[in-house]
């Protein structure tokens, strides 16, 4: 297994808001939602052990228990490494990060158990652990891969130096980072350059800025982005969210948005954004709207 045979759908379905942290889908509604995503050609579902106070993986596992046939049709990503305060983890005394070999192996075993699956397609370390021992973590990855329990490995929210360090010990296939028209840091800090260097596909959480751009506001930056985006939306016969997703996906690293919606209509809208091809100047019009000045 490696980067060459790693693939993701053009959009990733985030599960964070499907369970207790969101709409609390029951199994029947979750089944319908998953099947509708698959009908659109979207087979990647992004989890984390902490979602729903450590319950959302279990909710998804309940679906796979009654519909085991779905497992061969989907790809499962999950994340671990955050030890969150929760009634479901009474042994956690404070919120902390843990990328030790023991914790990663235990986390994967638990995810496999509650997701009702024999393997995870992609495992991400959820947050950088300041006590990370890259050799220890690489040993955990190698053990899981040899056992067939995890096919591919990546990270989330890692800086370029943290990614570089771990990647030198074990091949990583992605860095899931916050990227949007309102969060431009990855364009400045080298994260996207690093993805291009290693042919790594970056995935973007909060690709629409957490919804702030669509709320009533007097924030001048948001108003500039909205005005420019709406003008482009009118030109392309599209919606503002589609233009902002198209803006992300124009980057040559091939940024893949992680959608946070539970509505299939929003998934369809996002998928249509893949067909919008902004020009270079249009891309920079939105950049200029975000930063408030023309490029140097």
Is 283 in contact with 296 (CB distance < 8 Å)? no
Is 239 in contact with 212 (CB distance < 8 Å)? no
Give the Cα separation of 123 and 138 in Å (integer): 13
Using the Cα atoms of residue 180, residue 184, residue 186 and residue 187 in order, give the sign of their dihedral: positive
Is 34 in contact with 25 (CB distance < 8 Å)? no
Q: Which residue bears the tokens 């999950």?
A: 78
One of 51, 54, 198, 236 is an active-site residue; which one? 51
Examine the residue annotation and report whether 51 is marked as an active-site residue of this protein. yes
In angstroms, how far is the first alpha carbon of the chain from the final one? 43
Cα–Cα distance list, 142 to 138, 176, 185 (Å): 6, 21, 32
Strands (E), the chain: 12-14, 44-46, 75-80, 82-83, 96-97, 120-125, 150-156, 175-178, 203-205, 256-259
CA angle 150, 24, 269 (to 5 degrees): 80
Helix 240-249 with 264-273: angle, nearest 10 deg: 50
Kindly list the catalytic residues: 51
């Amino acid at each position: 297994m490696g980067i060459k045979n790693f693939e993701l759908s053009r959009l990733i379905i985030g599960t964070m808001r499907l369970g207790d942290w969101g709409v609390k889908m029951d199994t029947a509604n979750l089944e319908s939602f998953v099947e509708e995503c698959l009908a659109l050609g979207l087979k990647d579902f992004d989890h984390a052990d902490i979602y729903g106070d450590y319950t959302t993986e279990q909710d998804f596992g309940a679906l796979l228990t009654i519909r085991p046939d779905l497992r061969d049709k989907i790809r499962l990503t999950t994340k671990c490494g955050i030890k969150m305060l929760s009634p479901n983890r009474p042994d956690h005394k404070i919120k902390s990060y843990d990328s030790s070999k023991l914790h990663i192996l235990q986390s994967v075993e638990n995810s496999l158990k509650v997701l009702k699956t024999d393997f995870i397609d992609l495992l991400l370390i959820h947050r950088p652990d300041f006590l990370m021992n890259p050799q220890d973590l690489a040993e955990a990855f190698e053990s899981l891969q040899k056992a067939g329990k995890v096919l591919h490995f990546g990270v989330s929210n890692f800086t370029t130096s943290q990614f570089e360090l771990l990647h030198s010990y074990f091949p990583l296939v992605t860095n899931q980072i916050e990227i949007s028209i309102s969060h431009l840091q990855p364009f400045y800090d080298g994260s996207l350059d690093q993805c291009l260097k290693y042919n790594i596909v970056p995935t973007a959480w909060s690709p629409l800025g957490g919804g702030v751009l669509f709320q009533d506001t007097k924030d001048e930056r948001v108003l500039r982005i909205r005005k420019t985006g709406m003008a482009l939306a009118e030109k392309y016969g599209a919606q503002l969210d589609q233009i902002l997703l198209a803006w992300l996906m124009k980057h040559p690293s091939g940024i893949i948005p992680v959608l946070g919606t539970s509505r299939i209509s929003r998934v369809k809208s996002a998928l249509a954004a893949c067909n919008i091809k902004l020009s270079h100047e249009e891309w920079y019009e939105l950049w200029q709207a975000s930063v408030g000045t023309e490029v140097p």
